Amino acid sequence: MSAPDSFEDDLLHAMTRTGEGFSPQGPAGLAGGGLERGRRRWRRRSAAAVVGGAAALALVGTGAFYLTDGSPSALRLTPAGTGPTPAAGSASLTPGSSPTASASASAPATPSAAAVGGEEVLAMFRALLPQGQISNAEGAGADSNGGPGTGMAGASLVFDEGKGKSWMTISFSRVGQDDPSRTDNDCPDKKIIAFDACTATALPDGGRLTVFQGYEYPDRRVDTKWWNAKLTGKDGRRIELSEWNSPAEKGKPVSRATPPLTPEQLSAIVTDKSWDRVIAALPEPVPESPHRRSEPYTKEEILATAAKLLPTGLKQTETGGSEGYANFVVNDGKGKSMVELNVDDWSNPMNTEPFGGTETMPDGTQVKVRKVPGNPARWTVDALHPDGLRVAVGAYNSGGPNAAGARTAPALTVDQMKAIATSPEWKLKKK
């Protein structure tokens, strides 16, 4: 798919790539529905370090951004001419500048602000880029009064400063007060997502900035690099800037060694004060649906319960996770084995996805087991308890979904995994 033909999809994708998983690209990504859902939630909460591949994960509930209108066809697209951009108008774009130079970028938005058209969003983006040639440029505007582009805004283009073409996208949204992802903006768990560098910085105004340097695919099946800066502001703004060392995100050969913008330049652009008008023009986010009937399990609660249920001699190391999801590594002397758990409330009447258990325990718990071969191999035990709590346990024959198999089988047997998933220690936490 060419860059100019896919702008609408790319903008929507850029807006939601931390909330939406990608189609699984390997056997590890196809097993264990519960774990797929839990790790997509982890991706939503884990800053900008979310990419496709074997670690593609699933999402419970709504997307990362509560968009009033999430359909690509609702975007107002404004094609722009090609040609060199003017020199960057701010010294903050020079290498080595401080990421917090524009920390006031997350000032409170004005709900009644005037609409900002796609042409203007694109012009603002171009003005912040270094000198270079621009092609395939398009923009989508923001309108707080419910017009086209409601809920999102952004721009995309191909940039070349003489060292090769780079596909770039920038997106803008606002996150509601009740959305946990409003404050979650951290570097990812390297067991799950492979990357070269990542920094997460707390800004003086209460915002948080993460700059990520990784790859389009964690297994690096191609050489496409993906670099990203994400700002989450105290006022709920989310600004994401992505760049690739290719003229398209996928499907094109690399055209340069690395993306053109340095981490400092990425930081300076997303924190620039010029975006205040764009954020102000976006509507108030739609509140998260209040259908949840229980309190979610925290990462710490999942780890603590799992630790009590592990076979004697196995200890948790390299722990990670987020709300509803946790992972850790165990080693029985035969090599590392990553274990992950997803604990989720399935008593919600809005949940219509069939569970399809293949075994029913005496207490009514439904269980299904899957063994997916590969390198690494992954076993999963998924249990739906009578009270509606779903507990999925997965185990690899390696230290993570992107690591080669280090042993013939996971450290936990299927029976041991089943004992963990079906344990009465797991109880729905009613509100």
Give one DSSP letter per residue of 252-299, joined into a string: S---SSS-SS-HHHHHHHHT-GGGHHHHHHSPPPPPPPTT--BPPPPH
| 32-42 pLDDT, tens digit each | 344 554 444 43
% pLDDT > 70, the chain? 68
- The yes-or-no verdict on residue 418 having pLDDT over 80 is yes
Pick 215 or 87 by higher pLDDT. 215
Q: Write down the pLDDT at residue 291.
A: 58
Report the pLDDT averaged over residues 339-368: 85
| 327, 342 Cβ separation under 8 angstroms | no
* Banded model confidence at residue 290, pLDDT cuts 50, 70, 90: low
- The yes-or-no verdict on residue 367 having pLDDT over 80 is yes
Pick 1 or 178 by higher pLDDT. 178
- CA gyration radius, the chain: 22
CA gap 47, 240 in Å, rounded: 10
Q: Write down the pLDDT at residue 89.
A: 33
CA angle 381, 387, 390 (to 5 degrees): 25
Pick 25 or 209 by higher pLDDT. 209
Q: Write down the pLDDT at residue 20.
A: 30
CA angle 321, 414, 314 (to 5 degrees): 55
Q: Write down the pLDDT at residue 220.
A: 82
Pick 55 or 37 by higher pLDDT. 37
- The yes-or-no verdict on residue 3 having pLDDT over 80 is no
| DSSP reduced 3-state for 237 | strand
- The yes-or-no verdict on residue 306 having pLDDT over 90 is yes
Q: Write down the pLDDT at residue 114.
A: 81
| 303, 316 Cβ separation under 8 angstroms | yes
* Banded model confidence at residue 192, pLDDT cuts 50, 70, 90: confident
% pLDDT > 90, the chain? 53
- The yes-or-no verdict on residue 96 having pLDDT over 60 is no
Report the pLDDT averaged over residues 188-213: 92
Whether the link from the prior residue into 376 is cis, omega within 30° of 0, is yes
Report the pLDDT averaged over residues 360-385: 94
CA gap 152, 279 in Å, rounded: 9
Q: Write down the pLDDT at residue 393.
A: 96
* Banded model confidence at residue 145, pLDDT cuts 50, 70, 90: low
Report the pLDDT averaged over residues 220-240: 93
Residue 14 host element (H or E): helix 7-16
Pairing of strands 133-140, 153-160: antiparallel
Pick 29 or 65 by higher pLDDT. 29
Q: Write down the pLDDT at residue 185.
A: 84
Pairing of strands 389-396, 336-345: antiparallel
Round the average pLDDT of the chain to a whole number and report it. 75
